[in-house]
Amino acid sequence: MRLFLAGSVLLSAAAYYVYLPLPSGVCEPWKLMLLDALFRSFMHASDVAHALGVTHRVHLVNQIVSLAEVIEAYPCPAVHVFDSTLGGVSTRVFQPKGGKKLKRGVLYFHGGGWTHGSGRMRSYDHMCRRMAEDLDAVVMSVDYRLAPEAVFPEQYHDALAASRAFLSAQVLEHYSIDPERVCVSGDSAGGNLAAAVVQEMTSDDSLTVKFKAQALIYPVMQALDFNTPSYQQNQAVPILYRPAMVNFWLLYLGADSSLETLLLANNHSSLDQPAISARTRSKFDWTTLLPDIRKKQFQPVIRETGSLGVVDELPALMDVRAAPLLAELEVLGRTPKAYVMTCEFDVLRDDGLMYVRRLQEAGVTVTSDHYEDGFHGCMAFAFLPMLSSVGQRSLDNYINWLDQNL
């Protein structure tokens, strides 16, 4: 009887810890709850270790994720898989064994808030294997440096170095990649890097080969408004909570974590900030850039007065290499056709949708692929053990767009 009672208590406690009220439209919510409970366990353990001075919280999370998720570059029947470098940056290469002589080429940047993740993780490895096989494409997944050891613009410089090497005559020839069929892609923080790199490289007239397509998966695009409708609506929806995204930005920019509160309140982008002009504000003004269906009942959070000096202390907040949404229309207009995936239950939804609108205003052909039941990171749910419908659909549609546009 005592054993039964103890088991009941433990089960109840576990259910209480795992259960999280989610919006009714989320795809297969229990899978998301289970993953979130796992992540929260990792984060709580890392917070304790950090407080005790054992290790930085980021390092412990990365060690746990590496043990659980990073896999070797094992061979498979259709694709050669091996680790190499690209422009001096660690990269996993997926090269089809058969198919046409000239291959498509896809350069991919993983997500993880510029602090976590690796192209060698199971979900990215599986995704790139499938892309290589289905598209008959050489796929290169880049392991750029991570915060807190590397801070902006070092991740960007790694992404740019890898991109320049990927489009070099030597690499294109070595891997038999068709220079007219090359794409840059990435998810979340990786989507940010992909967008920033393609803006820079399409404006560089010294390059003989440029990307012909950009595919951005729930990308991070700006850090001046943390109160867009999607940030307000989804602030407590896993796996990317609103405060967590602010902390990722602070780690990326090498800033003090004490700035979290004022960024969450938009004090850093108040109207009395002399460094932020009306022209700049128009580039992240969701009241004009978002479709009405996404604005819903939400109101802008605009402070008349705020915390002066933050933008001067963190100029990267307005640097287009960190915040591609702030690029000029002339720059955007030179970028190639685009695919932008967004999810309804994601704090970054409106970053992606505002970028879609700005690309369209610049004359770029854009495919906006929105998932009403999707959440941040859902494309990683395209494989076991967390296989879900929205994960499969999103990956299928992403690969299908690449197939038709590359």
Active site residues: 188, 346, 376
CA distances from 230 to 28, 102, 156, 170, 249 (A): 20, 42, 26, 43, 17
For residue 178, count other CB atoms closer than 10 A to its CB. 17
**What's the CA gap between 21 and 43, in Å, rounded?**
20
**What's the CA gap between 341 and 207, in Å, rounded?**
28
Supply φ then ψ for residue 367, to 5 degrees: -105, 115
DSSP per position, 375-400: ETTGGGGGSTTS--HHHHHHHHHHHH
- Describe the chain by its helix, strand, coil percentages, rounded to 5: 45, 15, 35
Tell which residue, 181, 185, 240, has the closest CA to residue 216.
185
CA atoms 196, 210, 338, 91: torsion sign = negative
Tell which residue, 325, 332, 341, 336, has the closest CA to residue 401.
341
> End-to-end alpha-carbon separation of the chain, Å?
65
| Residue pointed to by tokens 């967590």 | 244
Q: What is the DSSP letter of 239?
A: S
Exposed, middle or buried, 189 (CB in 10 Å: 0-12/13-18/19+)? Answer: buried
**What's the CA gap between 130 and 94, in Å, rounded?**
9
Question: ω into residue 291 within 30 of 0, thus cis?
Answer: no
Sequence-distant (6+) residues with CB within 8 A of 245 are: 113, 220, 226, 231, 347, 348
The bridge status of strand 177-187 relative to strand 79-86 is: unpaired
Structure tokens at 307: 């915390």
CA distances from 341 to 100, 205, 282 (A): 29, 29, 23
**β-sheet bridge partners, residue 121:** 70
